[in-house]
Structure 1
């Protein structure tokens, strides 16, 4: 199992029409795809039909999302910052899984204006700690005001690319270490 590719799920946390999260996620996937030993999948919350309220029994879409989380060894959450927090659609989806998050690393690629999504990341770290996940230290923050009219050109710059590589280094180390640990000793919450 230690030689198997690390399964990295890149979760697009915004479901808003006109979002830029899908473009940022594709850029990050391109950064990750160049790495040996990683198998990368996009999990786009906009492609799920979640219920407006939390039902007594999981819907097929809720179960499908939890299965995606369960399959992954590590996560990158691509999140906007809305009003100094992360979107409700992301919190709703995160809550559809519980044990599936345990003892797995999560990293963040955030975006916003001026803060580059740091407030959203800070709050997500608290949420993932409650889910027994390990958040990695470094993150990629994209200030949409710096990107001007050409987000792709901005993302191709040295600073975002370097930040993505550091994040991938940390996720790879934690992902392999925690996967080996879970295999040797099942996690107890």
Structure 2
């Protein structure tokens, strides 16, 4: 069992002009950085030059995604498909935001995609129904108790699966076949 902190890549999935994802990702990363067992890095898909390296070194992922047309953003699909091996036998958590559904339809689509890539999606999510209305001008949630508790549950699951799968990969490499 490795004593090194688990390397968690927090992925900002939206690349649109005026996007809200960086605000949500910054808040979530701040919560995650409060844990000593995690080393957190934000991976912004708008910065294409660094994505491959950042994904390659991660032990676990948390995707921060909006919901566009009842699903997730096209740039996220392109990155998922282009980096097939990076997801193998690693956990993926979700923080979503958007209108009435809070991005949960995007998350349900992503679960299917990541299962095909042999990634393990964790059950609990953080979801912001109404997106921007859930955050103040300071970039922090206006009601931090519920989303903070949800973030801690999500991080606990990502940490457990991440450590378990990292130990397993070191002992016995995972194969798709």
Aligned partner of 2:105 in structure 1 is: 119
Q: Per-residue CA shift, 1:40-99, capped at 9, x if unaligned?
A: 001000111xxxxxxxxxxxx4xx533322200000000000110000011011111111
Aligned partner of 1:102 in structure 2 is: 88
Aligned partner of 1:164 in structure 2 is: 151
Tell whether 2:57 aligns with 1:80. Answer: no
Q: Indicate conservation of the 8 Å contact 1:155/1:161, yes or no.
A: no
Aligned residues: CA RMSD: 1.6
Q: Find the residue that maps to 2:133 and give its secondary structure.
A: coil
Tell whether 2:120 aligns with 1:134. Answer: yes
Mapped partners of 2:87, 2:142: distance in 1:
29
Mapped partners of 1:153, 1:143: distance in 2:
15
How many residue pairs get aligned? The number is 175
Shift of 1:143: 1.0
Aligned partner of 2:43 in structure 1 is: 43
Q: TM-score, normalised by structure 2?
A: 0.93
Q: Per-residue CA shift, 1:110-141, capped at 9, x if unaligned?
A: 00001000000000000100110000000000
Structure ID, larger Rg: 1
Change (3 A) 1:103 1:148: closer
Moved more, 146-155 or 70-79: 146-155
Q: TM-score, normalised by structure 1?
A: 0.88
- Which consecutive unaligned segments of at least 5 residues does structure 2 have? none
- Which consecutive unaligned segments of at least 5 residues does structure 1 have? 49-60
Q: Find the residue that maps to 1:19 and give its secondary structure.
A: coil
Mapped partners of 1:68, 1:127: distance in 2:
20
Q: Find the residue that maps to 1:179 and give its secondary structure.
A: helix
Shift of 1:156: 4.9
The runs of at least 4 consecutive aligned structure 1 residues that moved more than 6 Å come to none
Aligned partner of 2:75 in structure 1 is: 89
Aligned partner of 2:167 in structure 1 is: 180
Q: Indicate conservation of the 8 Å contact 2:7/2:40, yes or no.
A: yes
Q: Indicate conservation of the 8 Å contact 1:6/1:39, yes or no.
A: yes
